[in-house]
Amino acid sequence: MNLIKLLAIFAVLGIVDPGSALGAEAPAKEYNWGVIISVFIAIGIYWFYCLYWGIVGWKKTKTGAGWAIAGRSLPGWLFLLAASATSFSAWTYIGHPGTVYTGGLAYAFAGLYAITIPFTGALFIKRQWMLGRRFGFVTPPDQYRAIFDSRPLVFLIVAVSFLYSIFYVAVQLVGSGLLFNVLTGGFIPYFLGSIFLAVILVFYVAAGGLRTIAWVDALQFFLLVGGIAIIGGSVMYGMGGWYPFMEKISALPAHWTKSHDWIHVGWNWVQPSADGIKRAQWSGVMMFSYMFALAGIQCSPAFTMWAYSLKRINLLPWQVTYGIGTIVMVTLVLWSVVQGMGGQWLAQTNPGEWGPKALLSYITGAGGRGAPSDALVPRLMLTYIPLGLLPLTALGLLAAAQSTGAPYISSFAAIASRNLIGGHLIRKKRTELGDPNAIVTLDMVISQESQLFWARFFCVFIVSCAFVVAYINPDLIVMLGGLAVSYAFQLIPALLMICYVFKGWPNRWSGDGIFWGLLMGIIFVTISYWFPAYRYPLTIHCAGWGIIFNLLTIIIVSAFTTPSPKMVAWADRLNDFYRTHDTAFYAPKARSWQKFLIFYIPFWWLMFVGPGIEIGNYLDGIALGLPGQWLWLIIGGISGTFLLWSMCWGACMATHPTLLPEPIDEEAAKTIKD
């Protein structure tokens, strides 16, 4: 039976909708069967690859730690590819160019999240890997509970993981639904496209855990980066090449080529532009605080578990500096901007086909949902990419969605099964023994089979919750993703304490301070996002408002509380542990680089993702016909790569420790076995 007949049967059964989404009375559509068949074949081959690794993972995974962190056995090269792919998503593939289309070059500076995302990876991944291997931590709540001596903190970490995962997975479901729906002209309904992705994700994630995710993500990195480059290159070629394209962009109205000022006073970031139309104002302060949110990606519980999963970290600085900071940075500051600005030029010259109303009708006419800008990339794909390359770029979007969705599903599932179900059973056992401090391990109260069952159950649970979010709140993909990572960024004070500040921390931060600070951070992130009429006051992103109240609360609560004796003991233990195992970090040469970074880090953030983006307004026409803002963006990318290099190698923040940490006891050693 050929593919066309099979699809026709699906249509009869109601699995796909061959008619117009406008109703039964609308005339039947003419479908581009060449596009539909080629996309189906490519996706079918790709998903077979995903299912294969799911089956391999199912056969190999025998323990809870093996499922959650691959028995700490992932090789460095696999982490380099997989973690790089995890950092970017359907948000990057569809949402970022689409928001350049609506926000112009002022928003294009968000492409420097190719620097700010690995920035926190350089800060925290190495030392969390050392902690996990030494003390046997399997999930982030294990780490935070032990060091801060706070049981309530466990539930907040679970809440952060839950909130982060449902919103971020929802972004991937929206993106995949749009892909199928728009590329096939409505042949695959929006809802069904999301169902396809969800089923594949749940299968291979639940089956094999992090090991399977890593092997799938390794391929997805090439598909993601290659797909963005192909789309951008095709658009530039279709518009006449480099200099004709730059002439077109330079002629656009100022809103799309200039900065949106450094701050706007008001209750809402959506304000009238020079032409009187209300648009989002990507001020310097907004971009600065928005980048806090992006930095939250590698602060998230999922990346803590990526850190735990590594066998060695000798390739970590390569992943941070080159895997993301160079390869992805070039892709975003060049090809994603070409897509967004090219789309805006088309909208200015042909609004009936490329304006916001036209793009919105393009989505709704195919039976989909979403913001107009979310249709830009699929529309560019169909317009400019040859049929032979179209399936590859479609796979790039799927790769972006799956590479990010999968680890956030698995991380929450591992945390919920180990720290909610397992934690409850451990407390129950201690009550039965009559000793709240009795040594009771997870293996003593629940079998490995039960641990795996609960982990797989929570995979289904979190994807189901993400579906609800995706269809209740079909917000702009970029902003929904920004909400997700804003929750994760609220963990940065705790991570700074765990990884760097042990004695004499500011105002004697206590475990109670960390708990209440994180709680207030979560609350104010939610408040400053959830009411559209009052979203992002003073053009400060919700991540910015969250961290402001987070830090204020930590300082105030810590002024009236003291660290527990266990927390003080952990501070001493960590200080001695790092100094013993990571001597290169404390060497004079590394110390010199660290002093340099005390100046260079805030300088770079302020100049290239903060109020300093105003400088780009004065650089028009200096090089290669680039608008000044775009040139300043490229300079920011190059100097940002140097920032990452300085952190990783110069300051020794991501180099392999001098002494390999060995498990402190038998329980910690067990987590290294699969």
Per-residue pLDDT of 430-450, as tens digits, reads 787 777 777 777 878 888 888
Long-range CB contact pairs, 571-576, < 8 A, 24+: 571/502, 571/503, 571/505, 572/502, 572/503, 574/131, 574/147, 574/498, 574/502, 575/502, 575/503
- What is the structure's pLDDT at 474? 55
Instruction: Provide the pLDDT for residue 130.
Output: 95
pLDDT tier for residue 106 given thresholds of 50, 70 and 90: very high
Provide mean pLDDT across the span 293-302. 90
Q: How far apart are CA 487 and CA 564, in angstroms?
A: 26
Instruction: Judge whether 183 and 380 are in contact, CB under 8 Å.
Output: no
Average pLDDT over residues 486-515: 83
Among 12-26, 290-304, 564-578, 656-670, the minimum mean pLDDT is found in 12-26
pLDDT at 25: 41
Instruction: State residue 671's pLDDT score.
Output: 85
Cα–Cα distance for residue pair 345/351, rounded to 1 Å? 9
End-to-end C-alpha distance for the chain, whole angstroms: 43
Q: What is the pLDDT of residue 40?
A: 84
Is residue 537 within 8 Å of residue 528, measured between CB atoms? yes
pLDDT of residue 6: 35
Provide mean pLDDT across the span 256-270. 86
Judge if pTM exceeds 0.75. yes
Long-range contacts (CB closer than 8 Å, 24 or more residues apart) made by 359-362:
362/182
Among the ranges 159-163, 556-560, 632-636, which has the highest mean pLDDT value? Answer: 632-636
Rounded Cα distance, 349 and 344, in Å? 9
Q: From CA 69, how far away is CA 458, in angstroms rounded? A: 16
pLDDT at residue number 249: 93
Q: Is the pLDDT of residue 17 over 60?
A: no
Reply yes or no on whether the pLDDT at 22 is more than 60: no
Confidence of residue 674 (pLDDT cuts 50, 70, 90): low
For residues 638-664, b (16+ Cβ closer than 10 Å) or e, as one string? ebbbebbbbbbbbbbbbbbbeeebebe
pLDDT of residue 480: 62
Average pLDDT over every residue of 239-252: 93
Indicate if the pLDDT at residue 428 is higher than 50. yes
- Give the per-residue pLDDT at 506: 52
**Does 23 score more than 70 pLDDT?**
no
- Is pLDDT above 50 for 493? yes
Tokens for 8? 């026709």
Stated as kind and residue range, the H or E segment containing 270 is strand 270-272
Closest CA to 528 of 514, 543, 513: 543
Res 259 pLDDT > 50: yes
Across residues 219-229, what is the average pLDDT?
89
Closest CA to 119 of 260, 293, 246: 293
Beta bridge partners of 278: 272
Q: Is the pLDDT of residue 11 over 80?
A: no
Closest residue by Cα to residue 91 from 525, 370, 397: 397
Would you state the pLDDT for residue 275? Answer: 66
584 vs 352: CA distance, rounded Å: 61
- Element (H or E) spanning 577, and its range? helix 565-581
- Pull the structure tokens for residue 618: 């004065």
Nearest to 601 by CA among 642, 629, 633: 642
Q: Where are the alpha helices (DSSP H) in 386-473?
A: 390-415, 422-433, 442-445, 448-472
pLDDT on residue 170: 81
Task: Decide which of 327 and 9 is more confident.
Answer: 327
Q: How confident is the model at residue 367 (pLDDT cuts 50, 70, 90)?
A: low
Q: Which residues contact 7 (CB under 8 A, 6 or more apart)?
A: 16, 36, 40, 187
Distance CA 410, CA 456 (A): 8
Residue 197: other Cβ atoms inside 10 A? 24
Residue with tokens 């013993």, as numbered in its chain? 580
Report pLDDT for 276: 66
Q: Among the ranges 19-23, 126-130, 393-397, which has the highest mean pLDDT value?
A: 126-130
Q: What's the pLDDT band for 24 if we cut at 50, 70, 90? A: very low
pLDDT tens for each residue of 46-99: 888 888 989 998 988 888 888 999 889 899 898 888 888 877 777 788 889 999
Q: What is the pLDDT of residue 524?
A: 94
Helix or strand run (H / E) with residue 280: strand 278-280
Q: Look at residues 409, 40, 62 and name the one whose alpha carbon lies nearest to residue 216.
A: 409
Give the rounded percent of residues in the chain with a pLDDT score beyond 70. 92
pLDDT for residue 174: 75
Phi, psi of 270 (to 5 degrees): -90, 110
